[in-house]
Amino acid sequence: MQSSSGEPGEAQTVGQFALVAYIPNPLARFLDDLRLELTPGSKPHAHVTILPPRPLNGDLSSTLRQIAEDIRGVAPFRVELGEIDVFDASHVIYLGLARGIRELRQLYGGLNCGCLKYTEPYPYHPHTTIAQNIRPEDAAAMASIARQRWARYACPRGFTVTMLSLVQHVTLSIWEDVAELPLGVEVPVGN
């Protein structure tokens, strides 16, 4: 998971963790290229966030065990991307979801506990970020460009979530993969 720039506010999540489902190509390539067009210099890695950035309430090993246990019975599911929109409060341009919202909300609700319990500044809203850390006055024009590009995208607009990735915000604009956790299987996790 990559953020678009070293803007103020982004530093607040350095050191924190998030849980994401990466989007595969060719959809990811399109979304990453669009994000780079709108926010040059960003370091995108298209994904849907399951748990937004948060500190851990335990050690990493305990956290991985908790996630593996919590997702053991969760079957892979389909996500379809919907329409381009803008969050009013943050001016983030995003792709809403047409399918998979229920499953993502269930994952969020089931995983936001124990080592991962955290109260977000905004209610959980499953989406894929297209542009963030932009000037409010630029949001409408950028969203219009994003809508035009999305309307011309002719490949499949969905994917199956089979794997979750725990990522850590290690420095401004850089998120590193910590662990991959497959849905619906027992995952041995070391102490």
| Chain segment 87-141, per-residue pLDDT in tens | 998 999 999 999 999 999 999 999 999 999 999 888 999 999 999 989 999 999 9
The confidence score (pLDDT) of residue 170 equals 87
Pairing of strands 128-131, 158-161: unpaired
Q: Cα separation of 103 and 109, whole Å? A: 10
DSSP class of residue 73?
T
| Chain segment 144-158, per-residue pLDDT in tens | 999 999 999 999 999
Alpha-carbon distance values, 58 to 55, 61, 106, 180 (Å): 9, 8, 22, 19
CB atoms within 10 A of CB 69: 13
Cis peptide bond prior to 26, omega within 30° of 0: yes
| Chain segment 170-179, per-residue pLDDT in tens | 887 788 999 9
> Going from the N-terminus, what domains does the chain have, and what CATH number goes with each?
10-182 (3.90.1140.10)
